[in-house]
Amino acid sequence: MEVILASKAGFCFGVKRAVDKAFEEAEKKINSDTGESSAVFTFGPIIHNEEVTKRLKEKGVNVIESTDEIKNLPAGTRIIIRSHGVGKDIYRIIEENGLQIVDATCPFVSNIHKIVSEQSEKGDVILIIGNPGHAEVEGTIGWSGEETYVINSVDDIRALPDIKDRNITVVSQTTYSLKKFQELVAELQDIYYNVNVCKTICNATEERQKEAEELSSSVDAMIVIGGRNSSNTQKLYEISRQQCNNTYYIQTLDDLDLTVFESASRVGITAGASTPNDIIKEVQNSMSEQSFEEMLQDETPVSIRPGQVIEGEVITVKPDELVVNINYKSDGIVTAAEYSNTPVDLTTVVKPGDSILVKVIKTNDGDGQVLLSHRRVAAEQAYAELEEAFNEGKVLKGKVVQVLSGGLSVQVSECRVFIPASLVSDTFERDLSKYLDQEIEFVLTEYEPRKRRVIGNRKKLVAEEKEKAAAELFAKINVGDTIDGVIKNITDFGAFVDLGGADGLLHISEMSWGRVDNPKKIFSVGDKVKAFIKEINGDKIALSLKFDDQNPWLTAEEKYAVGTVVTGKVARMTDFGAFVVLEPGIDALLHVSQIALQRIEKPSDVLKVGDEVTAKVVDFKPADKKISLSIKAYLKDQGVEAPAEEAAEEAADAE
């Protein structure tokens, strides 16, 4: 692979000057007697690069963001003005508060301040072509008069007030796109006559952009290095992306995925004006060496470089750290945080003598040790496995490590997969907490690791499994079969029984040969039942517990022959009589005329539901399943006399 580093990549003159000044100030001893120095701050980050800001902070140079903070600082504090510059009023406030100014404003930016200050004093309208809100633009406004406008688009030009009769001075943000600047100037010159254009785009920016354009058009892949907030780096990325689709924007080597360059034979590198040289070099070195696979093949590295993957042997294991022999002059360290994303006591998972695959993070951590990461290698391998699983539709298994409001976070090796709540199951589940710490299976439906979108779908598997189980069930069941099931849901009209693949309905009328008023009184969810299949209609299965061999009418003729004395409970009553349950499934009629020896108007005159009665079977019609009872006959058999009036009536009836 050929790696070409742009000659204009990295710190420009102004940024280098400001950064050097900041580090110099950090080292300065103001008081030679005590050796102490006054505090040093930068007004805003010295440059748009987090790494540089962090390094300065480690040296005691902190950032202040507002004039309110300035007012609270003790006299003598040094305030470094960054290369982008600040407005005139900031200088005044610093001085009024007795603080010292260390002016690191880039001379090119100071020149713009001078232009806008002088021209606005002469009465010109000032137009600043740049990004509204950018620190340099804000600083420039602070040197200009009231009639100053920021132009970033043709719409901004159209929105200007009526300035046709005025002299107009145009300046530009130093890091603005040259092409866009030229387009906007052309538009201005079309509308206005008295336009004095000062091309204040810095040569360094212009040259860097031109070089990025040329380089990106001649390579297979392009790397743009710089802070996320760096406007000039963003522009380099935009320019490069227009020429080369495989353009990657990274802040440090850690953001670089070497696997994406496997098929590239020419790779270009450029960097924004605020990118430190050592970060650029680190990336260049990693790219200039072998590809990921080639690195894996290295057996005995006499030299190592950040990003290299090596197989080492664990020498020492502590709960929070591993010492690894990588056949290098120094041993490497893997901290627990670089071993795994999940907190772990290393003594429980690794032992001395184990071989381990590690990635070099730093060749020297300052104490002469090599910093290594196992987690990053595992993550790269895991992402490769996820990609393969996504492309081939393979089923993955992972542990649910977090229940989020919108779904589940599942750990697969060192990667996290998100399963939205709607894709967890084939039915809506309000409470997903039961999945926490569970191993679940799923497939990937989206895989875009760069956008951090790795989306899993368990619902698909659940639905497929159910479909398969249903097909298997229907293939083996027939009407009349006895089948085991579990009560899944109970309603007023019956119960749904899980048959392992499909549900069957056990209707209330099929629950017993007897009468069932409320299914919930005889079943609970989770009860096991053995039923028979009464009917299969499409995917609907009707069940019954009314087994033929348990039909009470099979033995009724023998048990309830005419003349037999029986005992039963009154189940319901009508005007013409009461129905008495002799056993579940067999009710007998006790006619109103047979309830008592004396005449009664209606059954409820002497009986109520639930009463136990003893009576004689006086009629049995097996074909109609009808049995008639008589208390009267039973009492007579017992020798009980009817009241005199009733007896006379009966005698008269008999004559």
User: Which residues form the catalytic set?
Assistant: 136
For the bound state, the minimum distance from the C-beta of residue 334 to ligand SF4, rounded and expressed in Å, comes to 40
Spatial distance between the Cα atoms of 321 and 338, rounded to a whole number of angstroms? 9
Nearer to ligand SF4, 180 or 546 (CB): 180
Choose one: 66-74, 94-102, 106-114, 552-560; the region binding ligand SF4 (CB under 6 A): 106-114
Token representation of residue 546: 């009314």
Strands across the sheet containing 148-151: 148-151, 125-129, 168-172, 195-197
Q: Which of residues 74-93 bind ligand SF4 (CB under 6 A)?
A: 83
Nearer to ligand SF4, 106 or 490 (CB): 106
For the bound state, the minimum distance from the C-beta of residue 68 to ligand SF4, rounded and expressed in Å, comes to 27
Q: Which of residues 229-288 bind ligand SF4 (CB under 6 A)?
A: 273
Count of residues of this chain found to bind ligand SF4 when the rule CB under 6 A is applied? 14
Choose one: 9-17, 155-163, 622-630, 634-642; the region binding ligand SF4 (CB under 6 A): 9-17
Based on DSSP, count helices (H) and strands (E) in the chain, helices before strands: 18, 32
For the bound state, the minimum distance from the C-beta of residue 238 to ligand SF4, rounded and expressed in Å, comes to 17
Spatial distance between the Cα atoms of 563 and 256, rounded to a whole number of angstroms? 99
- CB-based contact 504:531 (threshold 8 Å): yes
Nearer to ligand SF4, 120 or 175 (CB): 175
Q: Contacting ligand SF4 (CB under 6 A), which of 3, 5, 6, 12?
A: 12
Residues 543-582: x/- map of binding to ligand SF4 (CB under 6 A)?
A: ----------------------------------------
Collect all residues with Cβ–Cβ distance below 8 Å to 236 and sequence separation of at least 6.
Answer: 208, 209, 212, 224, 226, 270, 271, 272
For the bound state, the minimum distance from the C-beta of residue 167 to ligand SF4, rounded and expressed in Å, comes to 25
- CB-based contact 283:269 (threshold 8 Å): yes
Please count the other Cβ atoms lying within 10 Å of the Cβ belonging to residue 35: 8
Token representation of residue 312: 């080492």
Q: Contacting ligand SF4 (CB under 6 A), which of 14, 332, 398, 568?
A: 14
Nearer to ligand SF4, 175 or 284 (CB): 175
For the bound state, the minimum distance from the C-beta of residue 50 to ligand SF4, rounded and expressed in Å, comes to 18
Choose one: 10-18, 64-72, 500-508, 620-628; the region binding ligand SF4 (CB under 6 A): 10-18
For the bound state, the minimum distance from the C-beta of residue 246 to ligand SF4, rounded and expressed in Å, comes to 27
Strands across the sheet containing 266-271: 2-5, 266-271, 221-225, 247-250
For the bound state, the minimum distance from the C-beta of residue 136 to ligand SF4, rounded and expressed in Å, comes to 7
Spatial distance between the Cα atoms of 485 and 504, rounded to a whole number of angstroms? 9
Handedness of CA 108, 110, 111, 117 (dihedral sign): positive
340 — alpha (psi -120 to 50), left (phi > 0) or beta?
beta
For the bound state, the minimum distance from the C-beta of residue 141 to ligand SF4, rounded and expressed in Å, comes to 17
Token representation of residue 466: 């159910």
Collect all residues with Cβ–Cβ distance below 8 Å to 162 and sequence separation of at least 6.
Answer: none
The residue sitting closest to ligand SF4, measured at its beta carbon, is 14
Nearer to ligand SF4, 21 or 375 (CB): 21
Choose one: 102-110, 143-151, 159-167, 454-462; the region binding ligand SF4 (CB under 6 A): 102-110
Spatial distance between the Cα atoms of 258 and 265, rounded to a whole number of angstroms? 13
Q: Contacting ligand SF4 (CB under 6 A), which of 109, 386, 499, 629?
A: 109
Spatial distance between the Cα atoms of 136 and 12, rounded to a whole number of angstroms? 15
CA–chain centroid gap for 494, Å, is 41
Q: Contacting ligand SF4 (CB under 6 A), which of 15, 271, 314, 444?
A: 15
| Closest C-alpha to 124, from 194, 186, 27, 202 | 194
Nearer to ligand SF4, 83 or 144 (CB): 83
For the bound state, the minimum distance from the C-beta of residue 361 to ligand SF4, rounded and expressed in Å, comes to 30
Spatial distance between the Cα atoms of 275 and 227, rounded to a whole number of angstroms? 7
Task: For tokens 């037999």, name the residue.
Answer: 564
Q: Phi first, then psi: what are they for 48, rounded to 5°?
A: -80, 65
Nearer to ligand SF4, 113 or 374 (CB): 113
Nearer to ligand SF4, 140 or 630 (CB): 140
Quick one: which H or E segment has residue 318?
A: strand 309-318
Is residue 13 within the footprint of ligand SF4 (CB under 6 A)?
A: yes
Nearer to ligand SF4, 108 or 442 (CB): 108
Is residue 139 within the footprint of ligand SF4 (CB under 6 A)?
A: no
Q: Contacting ligand SF4 (CB under 6 A), which of 108, 176, 442, 579?
A: 108
Spatial distance between the Cα atoms of 219 and 287, rounded to a whole number of angstroms? 14
Rg from Cα positions in the chain: 45
Choose one: 6-14, 443-451, 514-522, 613-621; the region binding ligand SF4 (CB under 6 A): 6-14
Spatial distance between the Cα atoms of 605 and 579, rounded to a whole number of angstroms? 15
Choose one: 101-109, 430-438, 442-450, 577-585; the region binding ligand SF4 (CB under 6 A): 101-109
Q: Name the DSSP class of 459.
A: H
Spatial distance between the Cα atoms of 599 and 649, rounded to a whole number of angstroms? 10
Nearer to ligand SF4, 273 or 499 (CB): 273
Nearer to ligand SF4, 273 or 586 (CB): 273
Choose one: 104-112, 331-339, 506-514, 619-627; the region binding ligand SF4 (CB under 6 A): 104-112
Nearer to ligand SF4, 47 or 533 (CB): 47
Spatial distance between the Cα atoms of 148 and 575, rounded to a whole number of angstroms? 102
| Closest C-alpha to 465, from 499, 435, 433, 426 | 426
For the bound state, the minimum distance from the C-beta of residue 12 to ligand SF4, rounded and expressed in Å, comes to 3
Q: Which of residues 147-206 bind ligand SF4 (CB under 6 A)?
A: 174-175, 202, 204-205
> To the nearest 5 percent, what fractions of the chain are helix, strand and coil?
35, 30, 35
Choose one: 8-16, 503-511, 522-530, 631-639; the region binding ligand SF4 (CB under 6 A): 8-16
For the bound state, the minimum distance from the C-beta of residue 229 to ligand SF4, rounded and expressed in Å, comes to 15
Q: Name the DSSP class of 152.
A: -
DSSP calls for 579-645: EEEEETTEEEEEEGGGS-SS--SSGGGT--TT-EEEEEEEEEETTTTEEEEEHHHHHHHTTPPPPHH
Q: Contacting ligand SF4 (CB under 6 A), which of 61, 106, 127, 410?
A: 106
For the bound state, the minimum distance from the C-beta of residue 198 to ligand SF4, rounded and expressed in Å, comes to 14
Token representation of residue 251: 């802040």
Choose one: 7-15, 140-148, 446-454, 519-527; the region binding ligand SF4 (CB under 6 A): 7-15
Is residue 105 within the footprint of ligand SF4 (CB under 6 A)?
A: no
| Closest C-alpha to 223, from 247, 206, 245, 192 | 247
Residues that bind ligand SF4 (CB under 6 A): 12-15, 83, 106, 108-109, 174-175, 202, 204-205, 273
